[in-house]
Structure 1
Amino acid sequence: MTSIDAAASCPVHHSFDPLGEPYIADPYPIHSAVREEAPAFYAAAIDMWVITRYDDIEAVLKDPGTFSAAVGQRPVFPMSEEAQGILKEGFHAYPVMSDCDPPRHTRIRKHNMTGFSPRRIATLEPKVWAKATELVDAVEPGQVDLVAALTYPLPAYMIFTFIGFPDEDMDMLKGWCGNRIAFSWGRPSADEQREIATNMTHYWKYCEDFVARRAAEPVDDFTSDLVRIHLADPDALSLADITNVAYGLSFAGHETTTSFTGNAIRQLLSNPEQWAAICADRSLIPKAIEELLRYDSSIPAWRRITTRAVDVGGVRVPAEAKVLILLGAANRDPKHFEEPESFDITRGDARRHLAFGKGIHYCIGAPLARMEARIALDLLAQRVPDLRLVADQDFDFPANVSFRGPRSLLVDWPG
């Protein structure tokens, strides 16, 4: 039975479209409305079942046996034949982390956790401070796009440095990442698919060659940590596994942090009294980051697929149903957060958010993302406490089902 067949006698939402202009502009009023209407429903526009409430979403995240991660990075809509052909010839990625289930996921994640050790994260902090300071020092007074000046280059530089990619390759790598979100999570045109697929093959070949070089001569970086595991026991972790991890992490590790940091700065500057509180007392920043993750995460929705028919809040969701879990709706569920639509950096329970997921797929890069956001906000609070948003600007967000952050963020940078 297909999702459409099963939906015939179940809740169906004909207007819910996460690729529609109202949703892209601001999904949260829509999240609130659908959360009140039903715990789960079928959305015809995307052929997915949508889950809306905190308790149900938490249960999904904690039950990978029923809710498989296999569709997490598959294109929402079928690829063109041309794009499929390009990828078939030169792109050989396979699921290893966010779109992978046990037992493979368990094995790969265990080794990645070794690479994401507290020691390695700690060694990055001075580098994050140095790069953030360099970027802020380069800003000239006047109207500035903070995405271009800070929130894009900082996470990209740091994740590439963490993996071990050479500095001189970073502009090329960032160019290859362009529009990757649209490919798997949006509705790209055939021309866009061709361009993105070509870039993906270039990026994949780069990662293969890079991992081969590290295998021949390991150094002190994350990739070399994984290579040493491979050299000690090739059956534990193959070079193909390491290539997959490097490829996936290099994208996920900067796009999401770029979006979150942009969201964070936007929300704080839109609430000047809370920005002033942080500037007066920068020890508030860690708690503020948790509220920002709850209130305006960079990943307001994610995907799963059911392995069997299952009840969600009393709604029967069929087997092999593609599922969209609204993390943004969960993070503003009034059953779990008092006055959830209010942004409050002093909120005591904000850390209960689901922005980084839960269970076996809890975001492995959460400590690094928190650190980068903390340093960016700390530096701005120190250096430009009078920072202000440019009035009446239109914020543009990429059209896709999972990621959200402003493409540009115009501020008045004081002299």
Structure 2
Amino acid sequence: MSDALLRDPYPVYAKARETPGLTFLPEMNAWLVARDADVREVLRSPEVFSSANALRGDFVAEPSVLAELGKGVGGAPVVVTSDGAAHQRYQVPLVRGLSPARVASVVPFIRERAESLVDAFASPVELVGAYARRLPGEVIGHLLGLDPEHVPMAVEVGYRSAPRCCTFGHGVHSCPGAQLAREQVLITLEILTRRLPGLRLAADRPVVMAPTLIHRGPEELWLTW
């Protein structure tokens, strides 16, 4: 996967939308669904389009690694890789745990932690490590009643999008955490624009993209102000 594609995949997506039918990706042995109407059709039809094996990795592990993983480390079905009754069973507790009331109750904690993390910034700052990987994990840990210091997770967040956007999925595969993600991003943008006027990319630090298109984003993002 080229660095150019990771940094700017949008021309490829545009070409796929303009091409009649679907686009086959031989490298992944899969079909790329690019047009909005097609995406919605797929997401509305889980009985036809399965989510099993939906999150394959971007590389093939060595046989020794696969053998070790085969001993029982990971690999269990999760909500995004399940269909039918199993998907519903995994999704119900997430929907309950991320209800509008629960999300509203955690907003003060989100703001307090966001302000605290920004307090520790010094220009230049590497935003991914200093903020973007930390805040979502601490918020989830707070919801679960865990000590944030013991929640080393990275949770992808999105943004408040247009009403018809599929950023957070569609149909039965709509993301239960969409509102929680939106709240974190809205608070983040408000704090950064208020406290760090002139915030911009550090000119001497190129953006390094993570080598994946599953959760596309930078491995490092250096900012200055």
Any gaps of 5 or more consecutive residues in structure 1?
1-18, 175-253, 261-288, 292-349
Is residue 401 of structure 1 aligned with residue 216 of structure 2? no
Q: Residue 377 of structure 1 aligns with which residue?
A: 189
Distance 1:169 1:127, change over 3 A: same
Looking at structure 2, the residues matched to 123 and 93 of structure 1 have their Cα atoms a distance apart, in angstroms, of 33
Q: Which aligned pairs between 1:134-149 and structure 2 lie closer than 5 A? A: 134-140=116-122, 142-149=123-130
Is residue 115 of structure 1 aligned with residue 97 of structure 2? yes
Distance 1:119 1:23, change over 3 A: same
Distance 1:33 1:74, change over 3 A: closer
Distance 1:138 1:76, change over 3 A: closer
What per-residue deviation string (whole Å, max 9, x for no partner) do you get for residues 77-121 of structure 1?
554322222223242552131100011112231232121222221
Which of these residues, 160, 169, 175, is aligned with residue 150 of structure 2? 169
What per-residue deviation string (whole Å, max 9, x for no partner) do you get for residues 165-211 of structure 1?
323323xx34xxxxxxxxxxxxxxxxxxxxxxxxxxxxxxxxxxxxx
Higher RCO (C-alpha under 8 Å, 6+ residues apart): 1
Which of these residues, 141, 152, 155, is aligned with residue 160 of structure 1? 141
Which of these residues, 103, 114, 123, is aligned with residue 85 of structure 2? 103
AA partner of residue 156 (structure 1): G
Looking at structure 1, the residues matched to 63 and 13 of structure 2 have their Cα atoms a distance apart, in angstroms, of 35
Looking at structure 1, the residues matched to 78 and 33 of structure 2 have their Cα atoms a distance apart, in angstroms, of 25
Looking at structure 2, the residues matched to 167 and 22 of structure 1 have their Cα atoms a distance apart, in angstroms, of 36
Counterpart of 1:68 in 2: which secondary structure? Answer: coil
Looking at structure 1, the residues matched to 21 and 206 of structure 2 have their Cα atoms a distance apart, in angstroms, of 32
Q: Residue 81 of structure 1 aligns with which residue?
A: 63
Looking at structure 2, the residues matched to 402 and 389 of structure 1 have their Cα atoms a distance apart, in angstroms, of 24
Looking at structure 2, the residues matched to 51 and 168 of structure 1 have their Cα atoms a distance apart, in angstroms, of 40
AA partner of residue 209 (structure 2): F
AA partner of residue 160 (structure 2): E
Q: Which has the larger radius of gyration?
A: 1
Shift of 1:375: 0.7
Q: Which aligned pairs between 1:244-255 and structure 2 lie closer than 5 A? A: 254-255=154-155
AA partner of residue 101 (structure 1): D
Which of these residues, 198, 202, 225, is aligned with residue 386 of structure 1? 198
Aligned residue-pair number: 225
Identity, in percent, stands at 32
AA partner of residue 164 (structure 1): G
Is residue 150 of structure 1 aligned with residue 20 of structure 2? no
Q: Report if aligned partners of 2:6, 2:211 keep a CA contact under 8 Å in 1.
A: yes
RMSD value over aligned CA atoms?
Answer: 2.0
In terms of mean alpha carbon deviation, does 387-396 or 374-383 score higher? 387-396
Q: Report if aligned partners of 1:38, 1:52 keep a CA contact under 8 Å in 2.
A: no
Q: Which aligned pairs between 1:3-402 and structure 2 lie closer than 5 A? A: 19-75=1-57, 78-91=60-73, 93-140=75-122, 142-170=123-151, 173-174=152-153, 254-257=154-157, 260=158, 289-291=159-161, 350-391=162-203, 393-402=205-214
Shift of 1:411: 1.9
Looking at structure 1, the residues matched to 72 and 200 of structure 2 have their Cα atoms a distance apart, in angstroms, of 46
Shift of 1:393: 4.3
Looking at structure 1, the residues matched to 124 and 143 of structure 2 have their Cα atoms a distance apart, in angstroms, of 32
Looking at structure 1, the residues matched to 145 and 186 of structure 2 have their Cα atoms a distance apart, in angstroms, of 23
Distance 1:165 1:75, change over 3 A: same
Shift of 1:136: 0.9
Distance 1:66 1:368, change over 3 A: same
Q: Report if aligned partners of 2:22, 2:32 keep a CA contact under 8 Å in 1.
A: yes
- More helix by percentage: 1
Counterpart of 1:89 in 2: which secondary structure? Answer: coil
Q: Report if aligned partners of 2:137, 2:148 keep a CA contact under 8 Å in 1.
A: no
User: TM-score w.r.t. structure 1 length?
Assistant: 0.51
